Structure 1
Amino acid sequence: MTVTAAVEAPERPAHRDPNVLRWLGAYTASMIGDSIYFMALAWAAARTGSASGTGLVLAVGSIPRALLMLGGGVLADRFGPRRVVIGSDAARALLVLGLAATLALTAPTVGVLVGVALLFGTVDALFLPAVGALPPRISAPGQLARIQGLRALAARGSSIIGAPMGGVAVATGGPSLALAAAGVLFALSLPLLLRLRIRPLPEPETTGEASAAGRTPNGTVPAPPAADKAPSAWHDLVGGLRYIRRHALLGPLMLVIALSELGFVGPLNLGLILLSEQRGWGAAGMGWIVAGFSGGAAGAALLLAVRGRVPRAGLVMCLTAFVGATGIAALAQVPSVALAAAIAAFVGLTAGLAGALCGALVQTSADPAYLGRVTSVSTFFTYALIPLSYPVTGAAIALWGTGPVYAVSAAVCGTGGVLGLALTALRRAELPR
C-alpha cells in the first residue's frame, strides 16, 4: 500500500474538495452498512425463538464499546486515524460477511450472534474515535464546521436509506442477504479511504512564555516532547484525559456533551415509544414524530454545510442547546401527533445545530496529536454510556409517567446549555475563518 502525500493545496470549500468527498463517501457507506447490519442482526436474533436471547444479542455490543472506546482513541493517536479506520472497516467487512455465510448454511444460534455482536462492538470502539478524528487531517480548520454539517447529513441520509435497504434484503433473502449487503458496503469504503491524503501534524508550540506556563497562547496544553522511550498506552490514555481536564475549552465542552446526551437520548428513543403508546398515537404517529425530528436535524446540518461558519459559535451552541431542551419538555404535554411532530422538528433543528457546532469546536480546539483521545471521550458519551440510560428511563416512566421524566430530562439538557453560557471560554468560543 502506497503512502499518500500530504495535503498542501490552497483551501477550498469542503463540499468541493475531492479529499473530503472521498472521506464522506467512505463514511456514508459505512453508516449505511451499520444500519443494515443492526437490522439484520435483530432479525437473525428474533429467529432464534428466544426473547431473552434476542435482547441479549442487541444489548451486548454496547459492552466492548463502553470498555474500549477510550483505548480506541489512544490507538488513533498512536497509529494515525486513517490506518485505524481502514483496519476496522476491513475487519467489520470480514466479520459481517463471515456471519452472512454462516447463516446461509446453518440456522442462527444465540451463542454465535452474541459472539459476533461482541466482536463488532470491539471493532466499533476502534472505528468511531478514528473516523471522528479524520476531518482535521484532511481539510483546513476553516472547513471543519462545514464538514460537521456534511457528516450530519450523511448520518441522517444513511438512516433513511439503510433501514429500507435492510428490510428489503431481509424480506428477499433473509438476514444472510442483508448481512452480505452490509459487508459489501464496509468493503466499498476501503478504496476511498486508501486514497485519502493526510495532512501532517503541526509542530506543538513549546517555546516562550506559553511553554513556561504550560499552555499555548490560545489556552491549550502543548503536546509533550518526544521521549527516547515510547510511553505506554495507559500513559497515553491518562495524558489525554489530563489534557482535556486542563484545557480551557475542551473540559467544559465535554461536560456540555455529557449532560446533553444524558437528557436527550432516553426521551427521544425509548421514551418516545412509551409516549406514543400512552397517547394512542401508535407506530404511525411515532413515525411522524421521528420524521419531524429527522427533518429538523437535516435542516440544521444543511444550514451548516452550506454556510460553513457560524459567528459566535460557542454562544449559539449554548443557546440552541438550552432552547431545544424546552421542546423536549413540551413533547410530553401536547395533545396531537401533528403538534408533537412540529415540536420534534424544532428539537431536531436546535439540537442538530448545537451538536454540529459542538463537534466543530472540539475538532478546532484540540491539538491534533490528542484528537483521537479527545474524540473518543466525546464519542464515549454518545455510543457507549448513553444506552445504559435506557433501563433507567423505562423504569422512571413506569413509576412517574412521561410528563415528569421528560421534564427532568429537559432540565438535564438545559443545564448543559446554562453551564456553557456561564463559562466565558465556551460562551466566547469562535470557529476559524
Structure 2
Amino acid sequence: MSTTVFPPLRRDRRVHGWILSAGISWAGDTAWYVGLAWSAAQITTPAGAGLVMGAGALPKALILLYGGALADRLDGRRTMILANLARIAVLVVAAIAVLVWGLSLALLITVAVVFGAVDALYAPASGTLPRRMVRSEDLVKLSAGTQLATRMAAFAGAPLGGLLVAHGGLVTVMLVDAASFVVIALALAFVVKPRLPQPASEGHSIRADLRAGFAYLKQDVRARTLVIAFSGLNLCVGPILAVGLVQRTHTEGWGPAWYGWFQAASGVTAAAGAVVAMRWKPTDLARSGLLALVVQAAGCAMIGVVPRLAVFVAMAMISCTAGLASAQLSAAFQQSVDPQYLGRSYSIVNLSDEALMPLAMTGFGALISLSSIPVACVVVGVLFAALVLWAAIRVQPHAEPAGARPGERP
C-alpha cells in the first residue's frame, strides 16, 4: 500500500478547478435556460414553451439509471469530458441551424431532448469524483465550497442569459454556453484529476450492474436510508417554493417585487449556511444534516401561514439549513456509500427529482385547490419533518466502506 498525498484545500489546484468548473457550469446552464425559455416564448404558444422547457425531463429520467451504471463501470472523469464534448457539438450544430433556417419549435425541442439525455450521463458521473479527490474529512468543505460557487453563479447566470438573448439572440447564448463547456472539459482533462482509483463495477452487463446496485442498497441500511431521504427532500421543498410561495404572494396581493426579495433573501442565507458548514464538524454528518432539516420543514410550513415580513424568516430557515445540511449530507453520502456504487446511488436520487417532481408539483397544487395554501404548506411541512426524523433515527453509525480508506492506494 502506498500513501496518497492530499494537499490542504486552500492550495489544492484540483479542488479549485472542480469548484470553478461547477460555478461555470451552473452559470452557463442558467443563462442557457433563460435564453431557451425566452426564445420559446417568442415563437410558440405558452403550451409549446412549456413543452420545450419540459422536453428534456423524459429522456433524462429514462436514461438516468443506465447513466449511473455507466458511471460505476467507466471512468467518471472521462465520462464527464465526453458528455461536455457532446454538449458543445449539440450547441454548435444548433447555432448553425438557427443561422441557416431560423428558430423553430422542432429545433428547440430537439436540443432540449438531447441535452436531457446527455445530462443523464453527466450527473451520476459527477457524483463519483469528490470521493476520489480529497480526504474524507474534507468532503464537507468541498461540498460547501461547490455550493457557494453554484449559488453565486446562479445570480450571475440569469441576468447574463437575459442580456445575451436580448442583444445577440439565442445563437449568442448557445455559443457562450458552448464556450463554458469547453472550459469545463479542459479543466476536467488537465486539472481535475482524481487521486484515488475508481473501483469498477463487477457485473457482466449494465443490467447486471443495476441489479447489483439495488441489491447493495437492500443490504446497506445507512446507504438505503440516505437514498430514500434524499429522494424525498426536494419533493417536499420544491413544490412549496415553486408553487406555494408564488400562490401566497399572488393571493395576498403582495406583488412580484416581494417575491423577488424573498428569493434574494434565500440566496444570501443559503450561502451563509454553506459557510457555517465549512467550520462545523459534527460527529455524525448524516444525523446532523437530517436533524437540521427539521428547521427547514418548519420554515416550509410557515410559508403558508405567517405575515409578509415573517416570510423572510421562513425563507431564511429554509435556505440557511439547506446550505448547511446539503454540505453535510452530501459529504455523508460520499462517505457512506461504497465507492463502487456511488454512480448508481446518485442516479436513483436524481431520478426522483426528474420523474416524481412534476407529480409532486401537480399534487401540491391540487392540495391547495382542495384545501388552502396554509393547510397545504403545513401538511407538507409535517410530512417533511416526519421523513427526516425517520431517517435520522434509522440511519446507522458510519463505517468507512471496505477497500476505500482515504489516503491509501492499493
TM-score surpassing 0.5?
A: yes
Q: 1:355 aligns with which of 326, 343, 364?
A: 326
SS at match of 1:176: helix
Q: 2:136 aligns with which of 131, 141, 145?
A: 141
Deviation at 1:96, TM superposition (A): 1.9
Aligned length: 400
The structure-2 alpha-carbon separation of the partners of 1:87 and 1:243, relative to structure 1 and needing over 3 Å to count, comes to: same
SS at match of 1:10: coil
Deviation at 1:356, TM superposition (A): 2.1
Superposed CA offset, 1:170-200 (max 9, x none): 1111222112211111111111000222234
Gapped regions of structure 2 (runs ≥ 5): none
**2:302 corresponds to 1:330:** yes
**2:284 corresponds to 1:312:** yes
1:154-169 counterparts in 2 under 5 A? 154-169=149-164
**2:254 corresponds to 1:281:** yes
Q: Which amino acid aligns with 2:235?
A: L
Deviation at 1:355, TM superposition (A): 2.2
SS at match of 1:133: coil
Distance in 1 of aligned mates of 2:378 and 2:245: 14
Distance in 2 of aligned mates of 1:200 and 1:317: 26
Distance in 2 of aligned mates of 1:412 and 1:174: 44
Distance in 2 of aligned mates of 1:66 and 1:279: 36
**2:354 corresponds to 1:405:** no
Specify the alignment match of 1:3 in structure 2: none
Specify the alignment match of 2:181 in structure 1: 186
* Contact 1:8 1:199 (8 Å CA) reproduced: no
Distance in 2 of aligned mates of 1:66 and 1:412: 25
Deviation at 1:16, TM superposition (A): 2.8
Deviation at 1:257, TM superposition (A): 1.3
* Contact 1:33 1:185 (8 Å CA) reproduced: yes
The structure-2 alpha-carbon separation of the partners of 1:194 and 1:397, relative to structure 1 and needing over 3 Å to count, comes to: same
The structure-2 alpha-carbon separation of the partners of 1:18 and 1:89, relative to structure 1 and needing over 3 Å to count, comes to: same
Q: Which amino acid aligns with 1:376?
A: S
Deviation at 1:138, TM superposition (A): 1.6
Q: 2:232 aligns with which of 251, 259, 276?
A: 259
Specify the alignment match of 2:312 in structure 1: 341
Between 1:30-39 and 1:254-263, the stretch displaced more is 254-263
1:31-430 counterparts in 2 under 5 A? 31-195=26-190, 196-201=192-197, 231-305=204-278, 307=279, 309-336=281-308, 338-423=309-394, 425=396, 428-429=397-398
The structure-2 alpha-carbon separation of the partners of 1:115 and 1:140, relative to structure 1 and needing over 3 Å to count, comes to: same
The structure-2 alpha-carbon separation of the partners of 1:424 and 1:258, relative to structure 1 and needing over 3 Å to count, comes to: closer
Distance in 2 of aligned mates of 1:130 and 1:84: 7
Distance in 2 of aligned mates of 1:8 and 1:159: 38
The structure-2 alpha-carbon separation of the partners of 1:311 and 1:422, relative to structure 1 and needing over 3 Å to count, comes to: closer
Structure 1 vs Structure 2 CA RMSD: 2.2
Q: Which amino acid aligns with 2:252?
A: R
Distance in 1 of aligned mates of 2:399 and 2:256: 42
Deviation at 1:424, TM superposition (A): 5.2
Distance in 2 of aligned mates of 1:174 and 1:329: 41
Deviation at 1:312, TM superposition (A): 2.9
Deviation at 1:130, TM superposition (A): 0.9
TM-score (norm 1): 0.87
SS at match of 2:127: helix
Q: Which amino acid aligns with 2:195?
A: R
Deviation at 1:384, TM superposition (A): 4.3
Superposed CA offset, 1:327-354 (max 9, x none): 1101111221x32122201111113322
SS at match of 1:12: coil
Distance in 2 of aligned mates of 1:97 and 1:413: 43
Runs of 4+ in structure 1 deviating by more than 4 angstroms, as ranges, are 428-433
Specify the alignment match of 1:4 in structure 2: none
Distance in 1 of aligned mates of 2:197 and 2:72: 11
* Contact 1:292 1:342 (8 Å CA) reproduced: no
The structure-2 alpha-carbon separation of the partners of 1:351 and 1:430, relative to structure 1 and needing over 3 Å to count, comes to: farther
TM-score (norm 2): 0.92
Between 1:296-305 and 1:159-168, the stretch displaced more is 296-305
* Contact 2:9 2:15 (8 Å CA) reproduced: yes
The structure-2 alpha-carbon separation of the partners of 1:14 and 1:386, relative to structure 1 and needing over 3 Å to count, comes to: farther
* Contact 2:88 2:182 (8 Å CA) reproduced: yes
The structure-2 alpha-carbon separation of the partners of 1:83 and 1:424, relative to structure 1 and needing over 3 Å to count, comes to: closer
* Contact 2:229 2:387 (8 Å CA) reproduced: yes
The structure-2 alpha-carbon separation of the partners of 1:15 and 1:405, relative to structure 1 and needing over 3 Å to count, comes to: farther
Distance in 1 of aligned mates of 2:353 and 2:280: 24
Distance in 2 of aligned mates of 1:117 and 1:109: 13
Distance in 2 of aligned mates of 1:153 and 1:233: 35
